[in-house]
Amino acid sequence: MVDSLILILFVISGAAAGWLGVDLLPEQLLLQVEDPERLRTVLALVGSGFGLTAGLLFRQLRRSLMAQVRSMPTDLLISRAVGLILGLLVANLLLAPILLLPLPWEIIFVKPLAAVLSNVFFGVLGYNLAEVHGRTLLRLFNPANTEALLVAEGVLLPASAKILDTSVIIDGRIRGLLDSGLLEGQVIVAQCVIDELQALADSANGDKRAKGRRGLKLLTELRETYGRRIVVNSTRYEGKGVDDKLQKLAADTGGTLLTADYNLAQVAQLQELKVMNLSELVIALRPEVQPGDELQLKIARDGKEADQGVGYLDDGTMVVVEGARGRIGQRLPVIITGALQNPTGRIVFARLDGVAPTEETKAATDARSDPKPDLKSAATADPKPAAKAESRRRRSAKPSAGPNPDAANPR
């Protein structure tokens, strides 16, 4: 409706300009015209044609500008508007003395020409400066903010916002990351992600419906827990899919895209965007030793239970070794059989290489083994009760990863 109204106004304006423009023609030219009314009609038609062309160009320009405004973050939009206003203000302040100069009639056109050029130049200059330094410009309105001043001076690096992908929300381990404090800054949830979760929740497929409902429930709980830290970005970006829109959001805001999608992470890295792959984070938080690993371990002391020895890894983690009692000071080949994580540290259990595990050791290993590394447990160190076969071993060694005596006193 608005586009049609714009075209009609341009056509009417062009036709009126052609119809009334006959009166501005020189009298000598009008005397040579046999039918002035016909000339008016012809000029009105020509003017309406020019008006239609100008209207089409203006409509295309308007659509492009509106699309940019819709997809532009609010802070960037405000900073660009302020930069444009300041640029026009400087242009008119510099232009005032020129407009007051008494110029001859032959060069009087210099005044409007200078006005147009100065407004265009300083307006574009202010717009570009605000686009590059927009956030610094907005920070001038709140100079009392100590954190903002430190960020502006480069002393403090600002925490980038984290933009959640649909896969991360459905995965659910984002809760553990937030609870453990590993994620800093605000958490942005794009409107396109919420729409995708709603579409999954309304799907006829049972699995998709369960994923969508779980994701929406998680977002609701996070919003209740963290309040204003969870931000819903309602900007409507143009793109082929949710991944494309999230990449545009990350580019505009400078935030870090948090995803569990390997392909999306690779594409974001190719576009030089900040991205955090949840799978890579799981691998980074995974313990250095896993059940079945073989290593050389120096026995530091005897354990409290029979046939146990105690050693330490390079990071100070305590290792309880079956069959190593009485072999203090010896470096023995051992095989990791399991591990126990608790709030005060981590204990690793092992046996001597070449010694067959007993039935009790197998039961304890099965109870301690976890085939799927859980990011939440690794981040928050929330242990689960061990099996009865392991209880005796936990009582034999304190559950804190004490410092390695060899590492503390190197020789």
Q: What is the pLDDT of residues 117-141, one digit of tens each?
A: 888 888 888 888 876 666 565 556 6
Quick one: CA dihedral 52, 55, 61, 64, positive or negative?
A: negative
The hierarchical CATH code for the domain 162-285 is 3.40.50.1010
Q: What is the pLDDT of residues 27-79, one digit of tens each?
A: 777 677 677 778 778 888 888 888 888 888 888 888 887 777 666 666 667 77
Q: DSSP for 254-315?
A: --EEEES-HHHHHHHHHTT--EEEHHHHHHHHS-SS-TT-EEEEEEEEE-SSTTEEEEE-TT
The reported pTM is 0.45
Check: CB of residue 168 under 8 Å from CB of residue 215: no
pLDDT-derived band at 401 (thresholds 50, 70, 90) equals very low
Residue 216's pLDDT is: 92
| 404 has a pLDDT exceeding 80 | no
Tell me which residue of 254, 219, 23, 281 sits closest to 135, measured CA to CA: 254
Residue 369's pLDDT is: 46
How many Cβ atoms sit within 10 Å of the Cβ of residue 81?
Answer: 13
Check: CB of residue 312 under 8 Å from CB of residue 319: yes
Residue 35's pLDDT is: 75
Instruction: For residues 61 and 55, give the distance between their C-alpha atoms in angstroms, rounded to a whole number.
Output: 10
Q: DSSP for 158-191?
A: PPPPEEEPHHHHHH-THHHHHHHT---S-EEEEH
pLDDT-derived band at 407 (thresholds 50, 70, 90) equals very low
For the chain, what is the mean pLDDT?
76
Residue 217's pLDDT is: 92
How many Cβ atoms sit within 10 Å of the Cβ of residue 299?
Answer: 24
Q: DSSP for 22-55?
A: GGGS-HHHHHT-S-HHHHHHHHHHHHHHHHHHHH
Tokens of 374: 């859980």
Q: Which residue has the higher pLDDT, 139 or 365?
A: 139
Q: What is the mean pLDDT of residues 257-271?
A: 88
Tell me which residue of 157, 165, 156, 158 sits closest to 276, measured CA to CA: 165
Residue 327's pLDDT is: 87
Instruction: For residues 15 and 267, give the distance between their C-alpha atoms in angstroms, rounded to a whole number.
Output: 52
Instruction: For residues 249 and 238, give the distance between their C-alpha atoms in angstroms, rounded to a whole number.
Output: 10
Q: Which residue has the higher pLDDT, 377 or 288?
A: 288
Q: What is the mean pLDDT of residues 268-277?
A: 87
Q: DSSP for 203-263?
A: -SSHHHHHHHHHHHHHHHHHHHHHGGGEEEE------SSHHHHHHHHHHHH--EEEES-HH
Instruction: For residues 247 and 300, give the distance between their C-alpha atoms in angstroms, rounded to a whole number.
Output: 53
Residue 250's pLDDT is: 85
Task: Decide the pairing of beta strands 294-302 and 308-312.
Answer: antiparallel
CA 388 to chain CA centroid, Å, is 45
Tokens of 89: 């203000």
Check: CB of residue 337 under 8 Å from CB of residue 365: yes
What CATH superfamily is the domain 294-404? Nucleic acid-binding proteins (2.40.50.140)
Contacts of 184 (CB under 8 A, 6+ apart): 159
Tell me which residue of 286, 336, 342, 341 sits closest to 313, measured CA to CA: 336
H/E element, 194: helix 191-201
Check: CB of residue 263 under 8 Å from CB of residue 245: no
Q: What is the pLDDT of residues 2-31, one digit of tens each?
A: 778 888 888 888 888 888 877 767 777 767
Residue 375's pLDDT is: 40
Residue 386's pLDDT is: 40
Half-sphere exposure of residue 316: CA atoms within 13 angstroms, side-chain side: 11
Q: What is the pLDDT of residues 214-228, one digit of tens each?
A: 999 999 998 888 888
* Cα radius of gyration (the chain): 36
Ordered by start, the domain boundaries in the chain are 1-71, 72-158, 162-285, 294-404
Q: Which residue has the higher pLDDT, 185 or 297?
A: 297
| 88 has a pLDDT exceeding 80 | yes
pLDDT-derived band at 213 (thresholds 50, 70, 90) equals very high
Residue 393's pLDDT is: 47
pLDDT-derived band at 344 (thresholds 50, 70, 90) equals low
Instruction: Enumerate long-range contacts of 57-65, CB under 8 Å, 24 or more apart.
Output: 58/6, 58/10, 59/3, 59/6, 59/7, 62/3, 62/6
